[in-house]
Amino acid sequence: MKHLFILSTLFLLSASTSSLIAQDHRFVEDFVERLENSKKYILLVAETMPEDSYSYKATPESLSFAENLLHIGYALDWHSQSLLGGRASREWKTDTVFKVADKSKEDMIALIDQTFDQAMQLIKEFDTAQLNDELDYFGLNRSKRQIFLLLADHITHHRAQMLVYMRLNGLVPPRYVLFQ
């Protein structure tokens, strides 16, 4: 009887654990799909804005359209490669990869495209056993699962600013793409 109890307990633990692992894999798969759609939409937004309007700012202290675009790339790189992937962080103040400088519209779009691809590749290979691991996020303990969600919010936040900039320049932004 004792052996039956132990076997039953092990079976139940195994079944519940495999169910949770499947849910975690589904979370990552759903997130990659969301990033794929977000990439398509941000590239469409970036293509639609004329290059001579990339320097547009709504207010003097705001980021320009181009700076918002590359800030999305920087944050995508930082959240995925550094926070989730463990690579040393780029320093925002000294980084040159994600600064506008002399980059053309074409250069910026290519960089964002590449950054999304690299992030999605890392996330596809992400060990879901780490989703509940916590790390310091600006002085707050956040799980890696929360980092995924914070990344999506950050992209949406800055992309929304870019859409407003398009409207302020008399352009109609591309139609919203669902599931991102």
For residue range 77-92, list pLDDT tens digits in order: 999 999 999 999 888 8
Mean pLDDT, residues 40-52:
97
Close Cβ partners of 28 (under 8 Å, ≥ 6 residues apart): 123, 124, 126, 128
The residue among 161, 177, 153, 163 whose CA lies nearest residue 48 is 163
pLDDT of residue 178 exceeding 90, the answer is no
The pair phi, psi for residue 102, each rounded to 5°, is -105, 20
Q: How confident is the model at residue 60 (pLDDT cuts 50, 70, 90)?
A: very high
Query: In the beta sheet, which residues pair with residue 135?
Result: 142
How far apart, in Å, are the Cα atoms of 85 and each of 44, 102, 105?
28, 29, 29
Please report, for the chain, the start and end positions of each structural domain, with discontinuous segments joined by +: 2-168
- The per-residue pLDDT for 46 is 98
- The per-residue pLDDT for 72 is 98
- The per-residue pLDDT for 44 is 96
Residue of higher predicted confidence among 146 and 176: 146
- The per-residue pLDDT for 12 is 53
Mean pLDDT, residues 82-109:
93
Map residue 142 onto helix, strand or coil.
strand
Residue range 11-38, pLDDT digits in tens: 555 555 544 455 688 999 999 999 999 9
How far apart, in Å, are the Cα atoms of 40 and each of 37, 130, 136, 165?
5, 28, 31, 19
The residue among 160, 174, 151, 149 whose CA lies nearest residue 68 is 160
- The per-residue pLDDT for 49 is 98
Mean of all residue pLDDT scores within the chain: 89
- The per-residue pLDDT for 19 is 47
Q: How many CA atoms lie within 13 A of 53 on its CB side?
A: 17
Q: How confident is the model at residue 176 (pLDDT cuts 50, 70, 90)?
A: confident
Q: Does domain 2-168 have CATH number 1.20.120.450?
A: yes
Query: In the beta sheet, which residues pair with residue 134?
Result: 143
- The per-residue pLDDT for 179 is 61
Whose tokens are 């930082």? That residue is: 78
- pTM score, whole prediction: 0.85
Q: How confident is the model at residue 9 (pLDDT cuts 50, 70, 90)?
A: low
